[in-house]
Chains A and B, each alone.
Chain A
């Protein structure tokens, strides 16, 4: 059984508890163990970098150092946590002065970052470590006829890490095809949901969400799949506010990709946290899930 250190991040404690539940259920079914980091702290989100960069790196470095103690690579389900951890590790590995400064701080908590730990996003575990073949072979209730819009958003793929595709990646589509769903091709799959602008620049963020929903709806989407709690909240929880602001009539369910995989693997809906949505399931999705 493959093992990873698991950094859930603050959102998954409550706001995105369905992502947490479905991540654990589906990986377990697919022979991957996610072991939650002991005493992890907030990754700093984007806001920490607005105040002080060094402090932001220290926050992520503490989690990385805790992960290193387990000897396992660390997995983050939230795109912002993932980006912060990935680039903190990369910077610290390259910049000995920065690492020394931060390790001096971490000494207070008997921790040290050595630069050994690898960082992955949860969706990479499904795309790379588990793989489409395995997903396909474990699928018992293929989501046939369900048109799923893979929503990449920003920070899984950006900034660029090495030479991976940043304009037209396909790994999300491949996961969806493996569980029998039809991945929808829509032009805004790589566009931003607005992130924390939903609080700081509301009008702009609602406009961005409207554009995304419209793009998905124009492509006859049954359900949008996300891999980030921030994207899920902006696209789903704020959908009603978009409708009020722009006089639209959107009613598109937005689920975590792990919930869709869970349905295909035959995991009971309750164990996937289904039922906490603001927008109800489309009947066709429910039918496939029960099929």
Chain B
């Protein structure tokens, strides 16, 4: 007999070293929403999102932009009276939505993150110019021009690298990461 997990249980399983279901301890006080500097731009406040997960509203929760708008500032986390690691929850939802390919359309976060990770796996270091195509075309014309203008100025001030940097023992680095995840999944 197979057991079906509730959405809250699925998410709890994705929280590092979580015991039980931490989200079930939420008292809906709203400290997280009141603290969050991005709440005003989210489809649902953090408090509401937790409530939705606890009620099993999986489709609505995954369709929310909320977790992709989390900047990982941990302000909610240090203030939560129930010690729920809300930032970790947002990370877990990001991972879940990428794995299941179920996230709101039109978001830059998922594509940008995947490009970033692929870049690190290939060179071991970050190189900003290679990332630009993963988001710049999602910008409107005006924002795109502003971004190009900014990048040009950075270049002129010697703040943008012309060539990508890479680590020396790249082969061994890739082999090490290959022991964690099959590289086919990242290339």
A residues sitting closer than 8 Å to B (CB atoms) are: 10-11, 13-17, 39-42, 44-55, 58-59, 62, 91, 95, 101-102, 104-111, 153-155, 158-160, 166-167, 190-192, 194-197, 199-205, 207-208, 211, 237-238, 240-241, 244, 276-278
Contacts and interface: CB of A to CB of B under 8 A. Distances in A.
A208 B36 CA distance: 11
Highest count of chain A CB atoms <10 Å: which of B38, B159, B161, B179: B159
B137 interface: no
Nearest to B114: A51
A154 B72 contact: yes
A109 B172 CA distance: 5
B18 interface: no
Given A14-B159, A39-B169, A160-B78, A195 B117 contact: no
B117 A48 contact: yes
Given A15-B159, A159-B87, A192-B75, 5 more contacts: A102-B180, A105-B177, A159-B77, A211-B37, A241-B146
A26 B126 CA distance: 26
A92 to B, nearest CB: 12
A190 B75 contact: yes
Interface residues of B, number: 62
B124 A41 contact: yes
Nearest to A53: B16
Contact of A41 (B16, B125, B150): B125
Contacts of A201: 38, 41, 68-69, 108-109
B63 interface: no
B7 interface: no
